[in-house]
């Protein structure tokens, strides 16, 4: 199949809409990452998403809408979701709702809940409006690769597998949406993202829990609340190790570890804050943004993780950021890329 890469314009939206209505797949930009979309009501189309990504069938998809009027045929919305939709939609918040029969079981991997999100990216909104369908879309990467934040990333993984990629430039947030469960008692963040725990808590005026496996590996006896959390994700081929501790200890420790590995013949590098690039100049520094701007780290992270593979690194040492605000989402993705391997520098 020939994969076309088109700029967003009226004729592109028309093409995308035709493809989606005929059961095909379209990759499109959102404010978080690129999505790989299909008509959520078309079972066969949904199955072809799993085939294109090599995604396990038991990992459910998010349904994207552009208008709240689309909700009623798809799901029952939990009461507490309404103030959150008011505050954060359109935007990077996915809310679990109770699935209605119109949603094929393939979308939800047989679960009684369906994940719903209204993206804010103008290109995503225009495409959703043009087709006027609920669009099931996971991130547009091959399963196990970092999510794509540029059209070039999508092309790397999907060339020849899908007919159309809409190129909307680099995604703003850079990490996937927050997935929030309001269907099982207290609110629980299953996957942290652009809408933070603190933001949700301030609207709901109550505590919001974070699933235990967000900052540590899932235990063997533990069921994943969100099936996606079970899989090894965001994993570059390199062995990634996080280095935490006091700033004045971390930088020399990263340098020592990196140069040791290099001396053993392993191609090595560091992921460090802009402020530390100069001190680590002999360690092939990859700049993760300023220590004062965690949203910049979120924005760059997946592109950096992809580049590690392209450049053939074997050992990577990374700084960490406090797991607060968007930092929680960054540390969830970075932690999983490192299989939660961490060295203490003090
Ligand atoms: O920002 C995003 O959310 C992007 C863009 C394209 O919208 N999409 C995305 O989809 O990241 P995906 O499929 O890569 O991740 C969806 C996550 C998975 O971890 C999945 O297990 C979880 O949401 N999920 C979906 N439906 C669920 C459900 N009913 N119950 C629990 N978890 C669910
Ligand atoms: Mg994904």
Tell me how far the alpha carbon of residue 335 lies from the centroid of ligand 2, in angstroms: 16
| pLDDT value for 230 | 60
Residue nearest to atom 20 of ligand 1 (CA): 228
Instruction: Kindly give the pairing relationship between strand 239-244 and strand 135-136.
Output: unpaired
State whether the beta carbon of 60 lies less than 6 angstroms from ligand 1. yes
Distance CA 93, CA 35 (A): 15
State whether the beta carbon of 138 lies less than 6 angstroms from ligand 1. yes
Tell me how far the alpha carbon of residue 95 lies from the centroid of ligand 1, in angstroms: 10
Tell me how far the alpha carbon of residue 254 lies from the centroid of ligand 1, in angstroms: 34
- Distant-in-sequence, close-in-space partners of 44: CB < 8 Å, separation ≥ 6: 23
| pLDDT value for 237 | 87
Distance CA 25, CA 226 (A): 24
Tell me how far the alpha carbon of residue 3 lies from the centroid of ligand 1, in angstroms: 25
| pLDDT value for 300 | 98
Tell me how far the alpha carbon of residue 89 lies from the centroid of ligand 2, in angstroms: 20
State whether the beta carbon of 139 lies less than 6 angstroms from ligand 1. yes
| pLDDT value for 2 | 97
State whether the beta carbon of 179 lies less than 6 angstroms from ligand 1. yes
> Tens of pLDDT along the chain (346 residues)?
999 999 999 999 999 999 999 999 999 999 999 999 999 999 999 999 999 999 999 999 999 999 999 999 999 999 999 999 999 999 999 999 999 999 999 999 999 999 999 999 999 999 999 999 999 999 999 998 899 999 999 999 999 999 999 999 999 999 999 999 999 889 999 999 999 999 999 999 999 999 988 988 877 777 666 666 665 566 788 999 999 999 899 999 999 999 999 999 999 999 999 999 999 999 999 999 999 999 999 999 999 999 998 999 999 999 999 999 999 999 999 999 999 999 999 8
Q: Helices (H), strands (E): how many in the chain?
A: 11, 17
Are 174 and 304 a contacting pair, CB within 8 Å? no
pTM (2 d.p.) = 0.96
* Tokens standing for residue 256: 């020592």
Angle at 272 between CA 312 and CA 284, to 5 degrees: 40
- Tracing tokens 């799901």 back to the chain, one arrives at 75
Ligand number with the minimum distance to the CA of 224: 1
State whether the beta carbon of 213 lies less than 6 angstroms from ligand 1. no
Are 288 and 300 a contacting pair, CB within 8 Å? yes
Give the H/E segment covering residue 168.
none
State whether the beta carbon of 228 lies less than 6 angstroms from ligand 1. yes
Q: Given the CA of residue 141, which atom of ligand 1 is nearest to it?
A: 14
State whether the beta carbon of 253 lies less than 6 angstroms from ligand 1. no
Closest CA to 27 of 135, 182, 120, 103: 135
State whether the beta carbon of 108 lies less than 6 angstroms from ligand 1. yes
Q: Given the CA of residue 99, which atom of ligand 1 is nearest to it?
A: 29
Tell me how far the alpha carbon of residue 247 lies from the centroid of ligand 2, in angstroms: 32
Tell me how far the alpha carbon of residue 142 lies from the centroid of ligand 2, in angstroms: 9
Give the H/E segment covering residue 216.
none
Are 12 and 18 a contacting pair, CB within 8 Å? no
The DSSP letter of residue 18 is H
Tell me how far the alpha carbon of residue 141 lies from the centroid of ligand 2, in angstroms: 7
- Distant-in-sequence, close-in-space partners of 120: CB < 8 Å, separation ≥ 6: 30, 31, 89, 90, 91, 92
Distance CA 166, CA 10 (A): 12
Ligand number with the minimum distance to the CA of 97: 1
State whether the beta carbon of 226 lies less than 6 angstroms from ligand 1. yes
Query: How far does CA 315 lie from the centroid of its chain?
Result: 24
| pLDDT value for 219 | 74
SS3 of residue 53 by DSSP: helix
Domains of the chain, CATH where assigned: 4-215 (3.90.870.10), 239-344 (3.40.50.11030)
Listing DSSP states for 89-153 in one string gives: -SSSEEEEEEEPTTS-HHHHTT-SEEEEE----HHHHHHHHHHTS-EE--BSSPTTSPPPSSHHH
């Amino acid at each position: 199949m020939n994969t076309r890469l088109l700029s967003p314009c009226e004729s592109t939206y028309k093409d995308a809409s035709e493809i989606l209505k005929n059961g095909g797949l379209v990759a499109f930009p959102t404010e978080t990452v690129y999505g790989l979309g299909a008509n959520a009501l078309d079972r066969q189309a949904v199955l072809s998403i799993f085939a294109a990504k090599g995604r396990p069938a038991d990992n459910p998809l998010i349904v994207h809408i552009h208008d709240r009027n689309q909700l009623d045929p798809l799901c029952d919305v939990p009461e507490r979701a309404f103030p959150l939709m008011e505050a954060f939609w359109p935007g990077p918040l996915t809310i679990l709702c109770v699935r209605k029969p119109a949603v094929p079981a393939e979308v939800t991997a047989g679960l009684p809940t369906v994940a719903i999100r209204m993206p804010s990216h103008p290109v995503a909104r225009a495409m959703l409006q043009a087709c006027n369908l609920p669009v099931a879309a996971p991130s547009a990467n091959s399963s196990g690769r970092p999510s794509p934040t540029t059209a070039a990333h999508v092309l790397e993984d999907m060339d020849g597998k899908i007919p159309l990629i809409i190129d909307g430039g680099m995604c703003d947030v850079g990490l996937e949406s927050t997935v929030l469960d309001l269907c099982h008692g207290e609110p629980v963040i299953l996957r942290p993202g652009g809408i933070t725990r603190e933001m949700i808590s301030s609207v709901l005026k109550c505590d919001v829990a974070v699933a235990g496996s967000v900052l540590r590996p899932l235990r063997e006896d533990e069921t994943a609340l969100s099936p996606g959390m079970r899989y090894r994700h965001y994993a570059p081929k390199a062995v990634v190790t996080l280095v935490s501790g006091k700033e004045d200890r971390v930088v020399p420790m990263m340098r020592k570890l990196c140069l040791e590995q290099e001396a053993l013949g392993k191609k090595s590098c560091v992921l460090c804050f802009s402020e530390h690039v100069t001190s680590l100049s002999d360690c092939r520094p990859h700049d993760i943004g300023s220590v004062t701007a965690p949203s910049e780290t979120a924005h760059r992270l997946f592109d950096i993780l992809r580049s590690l593979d392209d450049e053939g690194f074997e050992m990577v040492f990374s700084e960490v950021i406090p797991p607060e605000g968007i930092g929680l989402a960054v540390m969830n993705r970075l932690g999983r890329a490192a299989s939660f391997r961490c060295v203490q520098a003090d």
